[in-house]
Structure 1
């Protein structure tokens, strides 16, 4: 059998000790696709990663909802209802819909910068998560967001508890304490959301937010059943701020470590309206360098750095034959370091994303939001949130790391690539020096 090469001295033990280092070693020593253990393969470069994510018939995504339907509900939504729910969500999450609501996103980003106390070290991920949760929940639920935000925060806590590394991998049917906690928080969120749905339907004022889009009848399927609406919203609610929070940590760290890049962002952000609510998609489009910086950080440190797929049948990948039932780990972290796609791939260089002959454009060159049929639904929303958060923070502050020989944070890889413990200090920026010169 034509199998991918096995990484010398590799295996799950080495992988568990340092997954990022082992992933880089696999890329350097084995190339496009390599074998971690029998039946477990890593797609390490842009081409194979893009192929796996795009060929859903050969490499399907295993159904593993973080918030499965609650027992005692009126039934699990059918496959058709799930497709209808996805299409309805996307009406509110596609790029055009996000562009039309930039003025609702920008105030939360500006408030994050305004709230940052100067002259003291701040735990970044906690502050960013609170800000991004406020933005994301408001984008989904508009005027009903304040009442739902506390329940969304507890949903996130339930996810944190559930995915925490454990010595034992319990079968899904075992009611572990973490799973019972998740169920309680999911039920509380659903109970808080149900009267909102019923009130909107009874009044006929469905709203222009994502929930409103889901309540609008489809010309093909008619209205979604209430349970199909409620079933899909816990997961998308947490998703609006979970991965963006991980990304924000890396972005803010890079603003601190690359002050010239931060100055350029600040100069660009100086053109934003004084009233953040007056921000439009045209203003967002003008933040070209800021968007390039965000994309460059996401390239180097994709929040979802490893994605899992299984082969549905014997299939080929990068010239190798994989048996049915094999596990394929898609690694955007190493794909983004593919020198065939990115010159000087380990170097932080936002300019690579600006228009020009060197701008990366090939399939698989940027996989931070996935690609193919299971690509991130909220990619446009996440980019808008992160771009505006970056711009407002750089316009108002200069960031720095606490003094000391060692970084004051850890890098975790279990659920996503994150910087827990990251602390940064802000000093007020001189507005005159932030302008182009």
Structure 2
């Protein structure tokens, strides 16, 4: 392995060029250098589908850095052991497994339908705050059911703390320095935990634990008994924000595509018209019939993955795509360019939801490329391997129902005029900051409140 050469260095590549335009630099690196390329000494980019999947599956060779967004608070009593933290993670995953998500489809559909109900029509509206509030309600209710309204304001403050921590800075401060943003995060984390603690204690008193994710975490293990309170509390701030942060970024791109591709939006609306009049009556069987809607969501996530760049470190000297990677090197995994790998996705820059349908060729009958799709390729919007997104099933169902419910009720369009309606941001994730769209009522759509 010592004889393996380094990945090629991108001509003119540097952190300065990267900071100016990350997406353009990433695409140029993939086009000019191939599977893996070097940005600066000790910093490499896995650019194509095969290289990205290799890194994400080899967790021992390329471990994920241990830097949680909300580090465990220092409890007054004993801190949870590593085994208790692992048990808390396993319990949390039970509440996020696909079967658990499908069982609550009606609740999720009712929550996502509120976006169209709240959207002011016939004027330009900034989309992301409206989307984020709706998805925060859906996510927090999924976690905490009837206790969600009391916890939602604290979840909003956790999100604000996340945003402040993500602001670009000229300096990278060591994790132990209590910067103002970190102090604010700690205050909001303490406030959220203090609000959640009485909920946990009340549910553990005689009575039902609940069938939400918190209830799953409070179920005693036959072998170990109940989880310690602090192990439950430590694991929830991060997952609370995660239920709506990345999905809100994804929803911005999806709504933009509904505005730009009205024929696709009409096809989604036609599928959605077959859903129950009352969104709360929606079931997993109804969801299975939203085939084109789900394909559209996947296609938007392929083109604009909200987590477009993932960071790993080489735990030891190893090999990647035929190149030598030194121990301690940073490897940036780039789903954004992997999804534009023409070997995986023919005509990769084209928005074509049909590529995700089983009968992709027949859906394009009459077009000049009918039958050209080679079938679904790599899809890394939720990661893959041991550290794939825990909430992938919840995110995909939520986005599918949000897309269907919005297209069923509304026609979307971009504002007219020479100025761009949004700006692309890449520092935390790929987002449509400042996105403004106009909604008009779709003919024949009856407001849910009048049904």
Match of 2:440 in 1: 427
Q: Is the 8 A contact 1:353 1:359 kept in 2?
A: no
Q: Is the 8 A contact 2:75 2:230 kept in 1?
A: no
5+ residue gaps, structure 1: 433-437
User: Could you give the per-residue CA deviations for residues 225-251 of structure 1, whole angstroms, max 9, x where no partner exists?
Assistant: 100000000000000000000000000
**In the alignment, which residue of structure 2 is the partner of 1:221?**
224
Q: Give the equivalent residue in structure 1 for 2:407.
A: 394
- The partner residue of 1:60 within 59, 63, 70 is 63
Go from structure 1 to structure 2 and tell me whether the alpha carbon gap of 1:175 and 1:253 turns closer, same or farther (over 3 Å shift).
Answer: same
State the match for 1:435 in structure 2. none
The worse-fitting range, judged by mean Cα deviation, of 75-84 and 390-399 is 75-84
* TM-score of the superposed pair, with normalisation by structure 2: 0.94
Structure 2 counterpart SS, 1:28: helix
- 1:114 corresponds, among 114, 117, 126, to 117
What SS is found at the alignment partner of 1:203? coil
* Counterparts of residues 196-345 of structure 1 (less than 5 Å): 196-345=199-348
**Residue 386 (structure 2) aligns with:** 373
CA distance in 1, matches of 2:346, 2:419: 29
SS at match of 1:369: coil
* Contact residue 355 and residue 376 of structure 2 kept, 8 A: no
Q: 1:361 Cα deviation (Å)?
A: 4.2
> Structure 2: how far apart are the matches of 1:33 and 1:42?
6
**Change beyond 3 A, Cα 1:252–1:10:** same
Q: Distance in 1 between matches of 2:421 and 2:115?
A: 22
Report the alpha carbon displacement of residue 359 of structure 1 after superposing the two structures with TM: 5.9
Task: Quote the Cα distance in structure 1 between the aligned partners of 2:78 and 2:296.
Answer: 45
What secondary structure is seen at the aligned counterpart in 1 of 2:65?
Answer: coil
Deviation at 1:51?
A: 0.7
Alpha-carbon offset, residue 82 of structure 1:
1.9
- Does structure 1 conserve the Cα–Cα contact (< 8 Å) formed by 2:246 and 2:307? yes
Q: In 2, distance between residues paired with 1:285 and 1:2?
A: 48
1:8 aligns with 11
How many residues align? The count is 430
Which of 162, 167, 175 is the matching residue for 2:165? 162
Alignment of 1:23-62 (within 5 A): 23-62=26-65
Relative to structure 2, which stretch is displaced further, 298-307 or 62-71?
A: 62-71
User: How far, CA to CA, are the matches of 1:221 and 1:58 in structure 2?
Assistant: 32
User: How far apart, in 2, do the equivalents of 1:193 and 1:7 lie?
Assistant: 49
2:330 and 2:84 mapped to 1: Cα distance? 29
Paired with 2:27 and 2:37, the residues of 1 have a C-alpha distance of: 11
| In 2: Cα distance, 1:218 partner to 1:372 partner | 27
Preserved contact between residue 302 and residue 333 of structure 1 (Cα < 8 Å): yes
Distance in 2, matches of 1:425 and 1:315, equals: 51
Question: Over aligned residues, Cα RMSD in angstroms?
Answer: 1.1
Q: How many angstroms apart in 2 are the aligned matches of 1:156 and 1:134?
A: 13
The offset of 1:356, in angstroms, is 3.5
Distance 2:349 2:175 in 1: 39
For residue 411 of structure 1, what is the aligned residue in structure 2? 424
Once the two structures are TM-superposed, the CA of residue 79 in structure 1 deviates from its matched residue by 2.1
The answer to whether residue 194 in structure 2 is matched with residue 191 in structure 1 is yes
Q: Deviation at 1:306?
A: 0.1
Q: Is the 8 A contact 1:250 1:301 kept in 2?
A: yes
SS of equivalent to 1:222: coil
Q: How many Å separate the matches in 2 of 1:134 and 1:19?
A: 32
Instruction: Give secondary structure in 1 for the equivalent of 2:292.
Output: helix
Contact 2:193 2:233 in 1 (8 A): yes
Q: Structure 1 residue 12: deviation in Å?
A: 0.8
> Gaps spanning 5+ residues in structure 2: where?
361-372, 446-451
Distance apart, 1:166 and its partner CA: 1.0
Shift of 1:392: 0.6
Q: Distance in 2 between matches of 1:266 and 1:431?
A: 11
Change (3 A) 1:295 1:174: same
The equivalent position to 2:395 in structure 1, one of 354, 358, 382, is 382
Q: Deviations over 1:360-407 (max 9, x none)?
A: 445xx0000000110000000001110011001001000011101232
